[in-house]
């Protein structure tokens, strides 16, 4: 199987997980208004619709040789603005917006030559990253991370953990994502009190990509491990 189809298999896996969550929500869960600290299901969908649409505009313009719009350095402000703008949006409307963005993504992917996807020099706006890496990050990891977070905050930690672990296994097939996928799983463990498991994954991630050691020093997801001797040993070696 070529990388394009392998990539789409990962995206479809995440898609099934998103649809499964939406289908099992109660009427009360669908109607709930969220906050900056505790997003509702429809807040998550509005967020995904916004960023996925942004990705689509960038990719479509790049394919057509047009100027590529950038989000700038205002991600948190944009996220807050999207939340407030959609606070009163009905759940089904938010879900339809997210689904429309996904359909548009699939149409764009159909136009992408498979050979262009892994080429880190093909699209200048990605600044040395491949479109394959970006797609797996946007429609794969980003979506799954929000799903896992939703499950954890809804009291379904095991489901969130299983999703994170399953996705990590799938992303590790791609060399460009392996180290980051393992590191992100370590972050999930760290934030959820699984220090031993987090340290084990960090060790693997650091061996795969030593540059992650320096990143971990400033990553708030690693704060629960910061003072542990096992973490200090990892970053000092």
Kindly list the domain boundaries of the chain, sorted by start residue.
Answer: 3-171, 174-237
The pLDDT assigned to 96 comes to: 98
Q: Kindly report, residue by residue over 126-177, the tens digit of the pLDDT.
A: 999 999 999 999 999 999 999 999 999 999 999 999 999 999 999 999 999 9
Q: Kindly report, residue by residue over 204-221, the tens digit of the pLDDT.
A: 999 999 999 999 999 999
Q: Candidates 1.10.3720.10, 3.30.450.40, 1.10.1060.10, 1.20.120.450; correct CATH number of 3-171?
A: 1.20.120.450
pTM over 0.85? The answer is: yes
Give the angle 1-168-17 at the CA atoms, nearest 5°. Answer: 85
Q: Any alpha helices (H) in 74-210, and if so which ranges?
A: 75-85, 91-111, 131-135, 143-153, 157-171, 175-191, 195-208
Query: What's the pLDDT band for 88 if we cut at 50, 70, 90?
Result: confident
Query: What's the pLDDT band for 71 if we cut at 50, 70, 90?
Result: low
């Amino acid at each position: 199987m070529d990388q394009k189809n392998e990539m789409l298999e990962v995206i479809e896996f995440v898609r099934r997980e998103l649809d499964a969550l939406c289908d099992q929500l109660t009427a009360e869960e669908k109607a709930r208004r969220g906050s900056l600290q505790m997003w509702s299901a429809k807040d998550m969908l509005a967020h995904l619709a916004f960023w996925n649409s942004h990705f689509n505009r960038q990719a479509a313009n790049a394919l057509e040789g047009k100027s590529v719009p950038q989000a700038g350095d205002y991600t948190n402000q944009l996220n807050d603005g999207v939340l407030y703008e959609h606070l009163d949006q009905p759940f089904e409307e938010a879900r339809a917006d997210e689904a429309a963005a996904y359909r548009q993504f699939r149409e764009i992917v159909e136009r992408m030559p498979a050979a262009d996807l892994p080429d880190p020099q093909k699209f200048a706006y990605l600044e040395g990253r491949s479109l394959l890496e970006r797609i797996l990050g946007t429609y794969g990891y980003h979506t799954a991370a929000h799903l896992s977070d939703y499950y954890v905050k809804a009291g379904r930690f095991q489901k969130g953990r299983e999703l994170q672990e399953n996705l990590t296994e799938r992303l590790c097939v791609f060399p460009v994502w392996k180290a980051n996928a393992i590191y992100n799983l370590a972050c999930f463990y760290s934030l959820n009190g699984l220090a031993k498991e987090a340290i084990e994954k960090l060790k693997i991630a650091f061996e795969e990509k030593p540059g992650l050691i320096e990143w971990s020093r400033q990553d708030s997801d690693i704060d629960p491990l910061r003072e542990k001797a096992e973490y200090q040993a990892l970053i000092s070696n």
